Amino acid sequence: MFGKGQQEDLLRELTRLRGRVAELEADKAKGLRLDGVTGLLSARAFRGRLSEEVDRARRYQRLLSLAIVSIDDFGTLELRHGFKAGDELLGAVARRLGATTRSHDQIGRIGQAEFGILLPDTEAESAIPSLERLLVELEVIGEGAIRAAGASMGVAALERGMSAEGLLSNARLACSLAQESGGGRAVLASPSNAPAEDSQTPQRDAIEALAVALLERDRYTGEHSEAVIEMSGAVARNLGLNMPEVARVKSAALLHDIGKVAIPDEILHKPGPLTDDEWKLMKEHPVIGERILRVLPGLGNVARIVRHEHERWDGDGYPDGLAGDEIPLGSRIIIAADTYHAITSDRPYRAARSHSEAIEELTRCAGTQFDPNVTQALIGFLYGQRQAGALS
């Protein structure tokens, strides 16, 4: 049996130990939040703040920009001067970024020699001059064994319907373009600075040949595919897909109806509703399209997207009844873009409906027929096109 004094001593010791555990847990959490070399937000913590700021900007209709700063030729500098000098350089860059940005900006180390700067309530283009001055300052940081280091920067603005991943992808692409053009400069992300796809490969030639065949078979289907390509590519980029993935989605969008070459004309061009047997045959076109594309080397991923472009988010689509994330993302993108263009186009059995009616249909079916995130990104792209006067 403990005496009163012993009980008090035990309680004090227990209180002390609890406090120490809390301190250790706080230190561990801080270590997860902060990068050990620079003291900035870690990559994981920065991605979390990025998602939070994107949500905030959407909720309150606020501007948000993201800058990616990458030290040019960092690997060469590190090999020449050593790992310690490389870490000293990273620390010096981190301090300079902290000293030259606003108190409410968020900075993190998100790659080996890559930093992210979140710029809330900031228009991307107007931020370029001050960010370019920052690059000049980084050229001579005057600390450690490495006395100077060039850097490149990519700046992107959050667009309507864009995800956090899409914003990060756009900024990184712009930064890569800055480095590819010689480094030491800032590039503003825009659709026009996306890298051109290689059109000389045999695979691309085969895709173009199939597209021509589709156009000759059914002019509406061919022209319809062209419109779906633009929308699908933009949505894919806004959802954060990299350039090879975007290229695959665009190829699938171009050829998503290729299976219709096997559908008889009397069904393909029928002015009225299809019978049950005709509809059953029409629903075979995604599978036929997949079989056509599977025989071409390198188009397996495109074939898979084409097969599933009529699946529904709720699992009630065809040919395999896939649901949710089981459906390839490219397929989910194409079905939403395909539906919008089909609604707003004249068909043999009905006149075109308006843009607002198509948007209402997309919104109504988000979560049942369409992936909600894809729907949001597509509507955001269409909104931007109308603001720019590209859509009537």
Each residue's pLDDT tens digit, 282-291: 899 999 999 8
The helix or strand, by DSSP H or E, that contains position 183, with its residue range, turns out to be none
Torsion of CA 359, 364, 368, 374, to 10 degrees: 30
Alpha-carbon span 105 to 249, nearest angstrom: 35
Half-sphere exposure of 374 toward its Cβ, with a 13 Å CA cutoff? 31
| Domain 43-193, classified CATH 1.10.3720.10, yes or no | no
Domain boundaries, the chain: 43-193, 202-387
CATH topology of domain 202-387: Hypothetical protein af1432 (1.10.3210)
Task: Report residue 280 as tokens.
Answer: 């059953």
Which pLDDT value is given to residue 373?
Answer: 95
Each residue's pLDDT tens digit, 354-381: 999 999 999 999 999 999 999 999 999 9
- Radius of gyration for the alpha carbons in the chain, expressed in angstroms and rounded: 27
Which pLDDT value is given to residue 198?
Answer: 47
Alpha-carbon span 354 to 356, nearest angstrom: 5
104 to 101, 119, 120: CA distances (angstroms): 8, 8, 8
Each residue's pLDDT tens digit, 91-144: 999 999 999 899 899 999 999 999 999 999 999 999 998 888 888 888 767 556
Backbone angles phi and psi of 345, in degrees to 5:
-115, 150
Within 8 A by CB and 6+ apart from 260, the residues are 214, 217, 218, 221, 268, 285, 289
Backbone angles phi and psi of 194, in degrees to 5:
-70, 140
Model pTM score: 0.66
Each residue's pLDDT tens digit, 33-73: 899 999 999 999 999 999 999 999 999 999 999 999 999 88
